[in-house]
Amino acid sequence: MEQALRNPVRRPEARKAVLTDRQRFWIGRGLTYLCLVVAVIVIVFPIYWMVITSLKLPREIYRMPSLWPRVFTLENFRVLLVDKDFLRPILNSLIVSTAVTVISVLISSCAAYSMVRFRYRFKGLIGRIILFAYLTPTSLLFIPLSILMARMNLGNSLHGLILVYLTFSLPLSTWLLQGYFRGVPRELEEQGMIDGLSRFGALLRIVLPLSAPGIAAVSIFTFTGAWNELLLALVLVTSESQRTTPLALNYLITSDVLPWGPLMAGAVLSSVPLMILYFIAQHFMVQGLTAGSVKG
Amino acid sequence: MATLTLDGVRKSYANTPVIHGVSIDIADGEFVTLVGPSGCGKSTLLRMIAGLETISKGEISIGDRVVNDLAPRDRDIAMVFQSYALYPHKNVAENMGYALKLAGRPKAEIERRVRAAAEILDLVPLLQRKPAHLSGGQRQRVAMGRAIVRDPKVFLFDEPLSNLDAKLRVAMRAEIKELHQRLKTTTVYVTHDQIEAMTMADRIVVMNQGVVEQAGRPLELYDRPRNLFVAGFLGSPAMNLITGTVEATGAAANLVTTDGERLPLPGLRPGLAGRKLILGIRPEHIALATADDGNSFQVRVAVTEPTGAETLVSARLGATEIVLAMRDRIEQGAGATLNLTYPAERLHLFDAETGLRLD
């Protein structure tokens, strides 16, 4: 018996198999990479096309599309930055997105913390209203919001835009952060309070550092949401000086013939800040998403 | 170090009372365990002492200062949680020194005190590690170290050994006791494990459903439980509790169970004849009878469980189950008949209605 355990009998059919183990391994590997390559092409090609188009001369763009430009040019970028003053909307977008993100994280941290830790009347109801607010489609709200902003004299201004974006980002941030905060054991805060922290100190020094991945994820969602938003900006902002990037891109289209070169150059420029942000935070974000889901 | 006084302390959550007026005086340097089944309010009481729960009524004083309205950080207490509650983003030294850092103590002093505590608990090689890289026992020691470093007036322990395996628990039990003997800090220790309570405490407070059932020295409670709850709660295996009616004929008295079995009641004080009582006898106080002197009774063995040091026998007296713990090994197996007896002074009698001890 012991002998049999040590030298298991080789099954004869294993030798007769059509493929050897080694061949199976390489075929498996090959298929895996094939799938990955297909996925990467699907995702990366539009970005490649955007970049390559922004570097082409107009005649090349409108002729037979080619994967590689014959002549590289920065003319599209010059048109965009000098003639169209595209840095202005980028700056506006940065102001709006950063402000929305910072305010959103600050307020939603406090809101989420109170929902997770305190007991008070109507807590469940408030929680549901927050979720409900998040689930209401933007397209239903933009008319009331634009009237509201006009009445408050906040129409056509970055302040107004920030306020409007907050109404969408706060419910989501609060909802997401609740999940992360719930993952921080209550005893840790209590220990903090025994060690000498106030309630707010415990939130600041214990809960927030431990939820850092969650906060990074929430910040990125909020920032991206504000950065890419077009519909509300289109309704609320009228003057050129207050335009955000998506709006400015939209206004590049003035006739039936699309100015593909400057449009793509604008798309490239407006993607850069997001790419940098994602690159910095990707580590946090992946960690944050899993931390929130596993800890529960 | 300080005394700790609880005076008529009550707690309710939205009109549901959970602590019904608890008064305990804890002397300076005393080690008191709060013990009881889960949900008895012992942890809530501890958290009220710590300041983590508000006090609905009554007063808690540390030393001569009423602390009802003080924040946890102003009470000069240290607490060890069941989950240890170590800050995962700080290493062992930072965990232990955090309270001192928040109190604004100089760096050199923090380092010195952390080191001193680490030496007491054999934590020096682990000072730079993060809690995630420690074993359960090590985390437990860090949590204790964090309490020691502060040199507080009162130590509060909330079931600190529950997450450890049996062997480690026994070792840590001795370690905590030794630590207390060395530091002599007033300690309140919450546990649901009556062995922990018995072995560690100067005084035990047995709680049940938000009230103190009995408080006193461990052996005092063991030997003279004030009511059925304490009698049944302390001791493992638990005390045998047998209900019956007293039947006295001349000098001899017997307890007759509902199914007609008789148990001798030697040395029963007169005047109890005809009363419904509950007789309590601890398993280790039952012995094999050598001669039939009228104080013996017969049981049928159901199961024997030899543990090595002693043999636990589960036997039947009619429908009543009786457990006995024998120092000597016994030959009789299931189905055999044993002739048993018990000394009069080891009997506990309780009123069947009130559950209170009868003396």
**CB atoms near residue A138 (< 10 Å):** 13
The first and second tokens of residue A117, run together, are 């830790």
3-state secondary structure of B246: strand
The partner residue sitting opposite A185, judged by closest CB among B51, B83, B102, is B83
Q: Are residues B145 and B263 in the same domain?
A: no
The answer to whether residues A165 and A232 touch, using CB atoms and an 8 Å cutoff, is yes
Contacts across the A-B interface (CB distance below 8 Å)? 51
| B73 to A188: CB separation less than 8 angstroms, yes or no | no
Q: What is the ipTM of this complex?
A: 0.83
CA dihedral sign of residues B287, B293, B294, B298: positive
Q: Do B79 and A188 touch (CB under 8 A)?
A: no
- Together in a domain, B245 and B226: no
Residue B216 shares a structural domain with residue B245? no
Give the CA-trace dihedral at A113, A116, A117, A119, to 10 degrees.
Answer: 120
Query: What's residue B248's pLDDT?
Result: 82
Q: Which residue has the higher pLDDT, B216 or B269?
A: B216
Q: Does B78 touch chain A (CB under 8 A)?
A: yes
Which stretches within B150-223 are classed as H helix?
Answer: 166-183, 194-200, 218-223
pTM for this entry: 0.78
Q: Residues B208, B254: one domain?
A: no
Sequence-separated (6 or more) residues with CB below 8 Å from residue B92? B118, B123, B126, B127, B128, B129, B130, B131, B134, B142, B145
pLDDT, position A226: 94
pLDDT-based confidence at residue A292 (cuts at 50, 70, 90): very low
Q: Report pLDDT for B273.
A: 82
Is B142 in CB contact (< 8 Å) with chain A? no
DSSP type of residue B74: G
Contacts of B83 (CB under 8 A, 6+ apart): A185, A187, B163
The span from the first CA to the last CA of chain B, in angstroms, equals: 39
**Is A108:A218 a contact under the CB 8 Å cutoff?**
yes
Regarding whether B139 and B280 lie in a shared domain, the answer is no
Q: Kindly give the pairing relationship between strand B276-281 and strand B240-249.
A: antiparallel
Is the pLDDT score of A294 beyond 50? no
Same domain, B172 and B110: yes
Which is it for strands B337-341 and B320-326: parallel, antiparallel or unpaired?
Answer: unpaired
Give the DSSP per-residue string, A11-46.
PHHHHH-SS-HHHHHHHHHHHHHHHHHHHHHHHHHH
8 Å CB contact between B212 and B32: no
Dist. CA A198–CA B92, nearest whole Å: 22
B96 near A CB under 8 A: no
* Residue A161's pLDDT band (cuts 50, 70, 90): very high
d(CA B246, CA B132): 61
Same-domain status, B204 and B331: no
Is B286 touching A (CB cutoff 8 A)? no
Q: How many domains does chain B have?
A: 2
Nearest Cβ partner of B72 from A187, A193, A210?
A193
Instruction: Check pLDDT > 70 for residue B205.
Output: yes
CB burial of residue B211 (10 Å; 0-12, 13-18, 19+): middle
CB distance B35 to B42 below 8 Å = yes
Same domain, B91 and B129: yes
Q: Would you say A149 and A83 are in contact if contact means Cβ atoms under 8 Å apart?
A: no
- Cα distance from B201 to chain A (closest Cα, Å)? 24
SS3 B172: helix
> Please, what is the Cα angle at B329 between B327 and B334, to 5 degrees?
120
CATH number at residue B148: 3.40.50.300
Residue B234 Cα, gap to closest chain A Cα (Å): 29
Of the residues B185, B202, B233, which one is the last residue of a structural domain? B233
Interatomic CA distance for residues A236 and A162, integer angstroms: 11
What mean pLDDT is predicted for residues B22-26? 94
In contact, B158 and B193? CB cutoff 8 Å: no
Phi, psi of A68 (to 5 degrees): -135, 125
Span A90-133, pLDDT tens digits: 999 999 999 999 999 999 999 999 999 888 888 889 888 888 88
Q: Report pLDDT digits (tens) over A50-91.
A: 999 898 888 888 777 788 888 888 888 888 888 888 899 999
**Where is the domain boundary, B202, B233, B264?**
B233
pLDDT at B104 over 50: yes
Which of A193, A277, A99, A201 lies closest to B70 in space, CA to CA? A193
The 3-class SS string of B257-283 reads ECCCCEEECCCCCCCCCCCEEEEEECH
Q: Per the omega criterion (within 30 degrees of 0), is the bond before B270 cis?
A: no
Name residue, tokens 């009556």: B194
Contact residues, A window 72-131, toward B, CB-based 8 Å cutoff:
none
Domain that holds residue B11: 4-233
Please name which of B45, B115, B51 lies closest in space to residue B77, comparing C-alpha atoms: B51
Q: What is the pLDDT of residue B280?
A: 94
Do B87 and A190 make contact, defined as CB atoms within 8 angstroms? no
Nearest to B240 by CA among B335, B336, B345, B348: B348
CB contact under 8 A, B102 and A187: no
- CB contact at 8 A, B72 and A194: yes
Q: Buried (b) or exposed (e) across B53-85, using 16+ Cβ within 10 A?
A: bebeebebbbbeeebeeeebbebbbbbbbbbbb
Same-domain check for residues B219 and B247: no
Contact check, Cβ <8 Å, A190/B71: no
Residue-level pLDDT at A287: 61
A198 contacts on B by Cβ (under 8 Å): 71, 73
- Are B318 and B221 found together in one domain? no
Tokens found for residue B318: 């009619």
- Identity of the residue in B51, B89, B99 whose CB atom sits nearest the CB atom of A209: B89
Helix (H, G, I), strand (E, B) or coil at B240: strand
Same domain, B248 and B202: no
Q: Which of B73, B78, B89 is closest, CB to CB, to A193?
A: B73
**Which of B177, B209, B233 is the C-terminal boundary of a domain?**
B233
First to last CA, chain A: 49
pLDDT band at A282 (very low <50, low <70, confident <90, very high): confident
Range in A51-65, A165-179, A279-293, B209-223 the model is least confident about = A279-293
Nearest CA in chain A to B84: A187
The greatest distance separating any two alpha carbons of chain A, rounded to the nearest whole angstrom, comes to 90
Interface contact A249, partner B, CB < 8 A: no
Instruction: For tokens 């899993």, name the residue.
Output: A290
For residue A16, the model assigns a pLDDT of: 58
Enumerate the residues of chain A whose CB falls inside 8 A of the CB of residue B102: 195-197
Average pLDDT of B122-127?
92
Q: Residues of A with CB below 8 A from B97's CB?
A: none
Instruction: Using pLDDT thresholds of 50, 70 and 90, give the confidence band for residue A17.
Output: low
Mean residue pLDDT across chain B: 91
- B191/B303 same-domain check: no
Task: Decide which of A291 and B101 is more confident.
Answer: B101
Residue A293 pLDDT: 39
Q: Identify the CATH number of the domain in which residue B251 sits.
A: 2.40.50.140
Q: Is the pLDDT of residue A11 over 70?
A: no
Q: A204 at the B interface (CB within 8 A)?
A: no
